[in-house]
Structure 1
Amino acid sequence: MRVLFAGTPDTALPALQAFIASPAHQVVGVLTRADARRGRGRTLHPSPVAAVARAAGLDVRTPVTLRDPEVQAWVRELRADVAVVVAYGRLVPAALLDVPAHGWINLHFSLLPAWRGAAPVQRAIIAGDAVTGASVFRLEEGLDTGPVYARITEPIRPEDTSGDLLARLADAGAPLLLDVLAGLEAGTLTPTPQDDAAATHAPVLSPADGRVDWEADATAIDRRIRGVTPAPGAYTTYAGARLRLGPVTPISEDTGLTPGALHVTKHEVRVGTGAGSVRLGRVAPAGKNWMDADAWARGARPAADTVLGRTQPQEDTTA
């Protein structure tokens, strides 16, 4: 099949690479986000999808919007049999939805209709779901509302961060997409409508979603930190400055620590929560690299009455 591929981050690469390698398919064009400035030098860097696609000699386009008449004309000229979307980050306008013979199909990292939206894996971890998965569905005008061709399930492990889980789902989703395209080509696959009444929503996370509320219980704090790792990242405050937090270990027994209170020993740092406490893993003080929490405490020497999160610095909204 002639495939138009639309994707941007690392999680889209397994699918793109599977289509490039497949003798049954030809990638006739690639849509991705524009090159972005990153790092101290603010130099331009291509998206992961753009880098792989250009290296493979594919026709790559990076429009700001798919409403651009020139882009729409290009999509029509490709004569794609199907368009495949994996974490593209742009809306597909109604005028393009029926241009490919089999429409636009999307690999979404949840068991639709659960967690429709931009952050399904992150929200599933934060909510404490035991199982998630990936769904391949046909795009329509609503947000992740289209009929579903196929699903796979994946357990959420107790130590999973959103980065860990996304990587596994991306790898598992690539062969699922190939199976769906084979079924579409053979005419043997019929999508199933979603139950809108069972839908839950996964809006994009902001930096503020990474702020740890020590009044929450230890289990909820553990889930939130894992859900926002690696992005937008978890944090609290210490001595008026931001302290970034890596995954923690929840401890259920009562340690007598009030929410946010530190307990430092030679080999560990515990923080009180609304119920139980957590053992800090790795932390990163403002302007410094990641380090083990006990190493940070030896250098910072927090006072015995220190309470994390007591003061809140101005939100950092830089990307």
Structure 2
Amino acid sequence: MRLVFAGTPDAAVPSLRRLAASDHDLAGVITRPDAPVGRKRELTPSPVAQVGAELGIPTIKTHRLDAAATSAVEGLAPELGVIVAYGGLVREPLLSTPRLGWINLHFSLLPRWRGAAPVQRALIAGDRVTGASVFQLVPELDAGDVFDEEEFVVPDGATAGDVLTALAGTGAELLLRVVDALAAGTARSRPQHGEPTLAPKLTVEDGVLDWHEPAERVLARLSGVTPEPGAHTTVGGARLKVLAARVVDGDAPSSSGALAPGELAAEDGTVVIGTATTPIELLSVQPAGKGPMRAADWFRGLRLDAPVAGA
């Protein structure tokens, strides 16, 4: 079939490459415009735009899938639109422009976690199983019939970045299977079943660690907001980004749970912090204005009596 692909971040690249390598005709790519990246804020093409250029595929860069974008897509005459994490909604008349409409690779088992941050919200909620779904786009957010899905068991200690990378790879194969079935006329879809949950885009505030929560909830949030927007707390009025942590083992200082929520302690190079239940060991942190470092090195530089962390 003749396809048009819409996507923006790294998570969309495996799907773009897989479709480009298939027997289908990838007529064009739609992505978000170049954006400032890094400390120098240099305008940089999106990962999808970079791969589109590498593959020699005509690329449309747009903030919105508006009338101009619709006109451009009409000129490509696609039979099917495919979208993976573009970062904007497809509305009419663009929704009906391809003969078969649009399908979406979404990184959750729908209807759980409809929205912009499904992997992150799943990990914050403590889900041990998530996955990917390919569904038909409809005007309502992530509510269309599902063609196929694949479960993914979240490994212990995995971050949202880890899970998204894994799902981007397996999801590309899932997506191609659906595209092949649509081309062959054998695709079958089913309505979504169950109570929907929503996954709105994360903000910086979603990264605040609440030490009054149980240890497993703190670590779940840390996993869900890593690498973006990042987990953080404050110590002595200064912001501290927490990059990696774990529940302390039985030999760690204050492993009996004697520390108050947010209270810090260190012994033999191990830095721990109290929660509502078991203390957590801080492994890697990043103070404001500095690079990542071992928690023990950061703690040695503190000049605080009985340091306590808080929001």
TM over 0.5: yes
The AA in structure 2 aligned to 1:262 is L
Residue in structure 2 matching 1:257, options 244, 248, 259: 259
Q: 2:58 matched to 1:56?
A: no
Q: Does 1:26 align with 2:25?
A: yes
Distance in 2 (alpha carbons) for counterparts of 1:126 and 1:64: 29
| Alignment deviations for residues 138-179 of structure 1 (CA, whole Å, 9 cap, x no partner) | 100000000000000100111110000000000000111110
**SS of the residue 1:125 aligns to:** helix
**Aligned equivalents of 2:206, 2:40: Cα separation in 1:** 28
**Partner in structure 2 of residue 174 of structure 1:** 172
Q: CA deviation at 1:302?
A: 4.1
In the alignment, is the contact (CA less than 8 A) between 2:248 and 2:280 conserved in 1?
Answer: yes
Sequence identity of aligned pairs in percent?
47
Whether 2:245 is the aligned partner of 1:244: answer: no
Aligned to 2:98: 100
Unaligned regions of 5+ residues in structure 2, if any?
Answer: 250-254
For 1:76, the equivalent position in structure 2 comes to 74
Q: How far has the Cα of 1:63 moved from its partner?
A: 1.5
Letter in 2 for 1:155: V
Code of the aligned partner of 1:48 = P
The residue matched to 1:124 in structure 2 has which SS?
helix
CA contact (8 A) 1:3 1:83 kept: yes
Deviation at 1:239, TM superposition (A): 1.4
Give 1:248 deviation, angstroms. 1.1
Q: Displacement of 1:254 after TM fit?
A: 3.0
Separation of aligned partners in 2, 1:124 and 1:144: 16
Partner in structure 1 of residue 206 of structure 2: 209
Mapped partners of 2:241, 2:75: distance in 1: 48
Q: Secondary structure at the match of 1:281?
A: strand
SS in structure 2 at match of 1:198: coil
TM-score, normalisation: structure 1: 0.93
- 3-state SS of the aligned residue for 1:77? helix
**Distance apart, 1:300 and its partner CA:** 2.3
Q: Aligned letter for 1:30? A: V
Give the CA deviation at 1:301.
4.7
Structure 1 distance, partners of 2:108, 2:40, is 37
Cα deviation, residue 19, structure 1: 1.2
> Cα distance, 1:260 vs. partner?
0.3
Match of 1:66 in 2: 65
- 1:136 pairs, out of 120, 130, 134, with 134
Give 2:309's aligned residue.
308
Deviations 1:252-282 (A, max 9, x none): 8532000000011122100000111100010
Counterpart code for 2:223: R
SS where residue 152 of structure 1 aligns? strand
CA distance in 1 between counterparts of 2:166 and 2:213 reads 29
Aligned 8 A contact 2:244 2:285 in 1: no
Q: Paired residue for 2:146, among 132, 145, 148? A: 148
Query: Which runs of no fewer than 5 residues in structure 1 stay unpaired?
Result: 313-319
Q: Which of 205, 210, 228 is 2:225 aligned to?
A: 228
Corresponding position of 1:6: 6
CA contact (8 A) 1:218 1:251 kept: no
Q: How far apart, in 2, do the equivalents of 1:179 and 1:11 lie?
A: 18
The amino acid of 2:56's aligned partner reads G
1:254–1:276 Cα contact (<8 Å) kept? yes
Q: Does structure 2 conserve the Cα–Cα contact (< 8 Å) formed by 1:241 and 1:286?
A: yes
CA contact (8 A) 2:3 2:24 kept: yes
Q: CA deviation at 1:240?
A: 0.8
Q: Which residue of 2 is the match for residue 159 of structure 1?
A: 157
Post-superposition CA distance 1:77-132 (Å, at most 9, x none):
21111111000001111211121121100000000011111111011111111100
The answer to whether the aligner puts 1:126 opposite 2:124 as a matched pair is yes
Counterpart of 2:294 in structure 1 is: 292
Give the counterpart letter for 1:306 in structure 2.
P
Paired residue type of 1:19 = L
Do 1:94 and 1:140's aligned partners in 2 also have CA atoms closer than 8 Å?
Answer: no
SS at match of 1:173: helix
Q: How well do the aligned residues superpose, as a CA RMSD in angstroms? A: 1.2
Rounded to whole Å, the distance in 2 between the matches of 1:231 and 1:32 is 20
User: C-alpha distance in 2, partners of 1:256/1:37?
Assistant: 46
Once the two structures are superposed, what CA deviation does each residue of 1:11-69 show, in whole Å capped at 9, x if it has no partner?
Answer: 000000111111x11211111011011223221101000011012111111112112x2
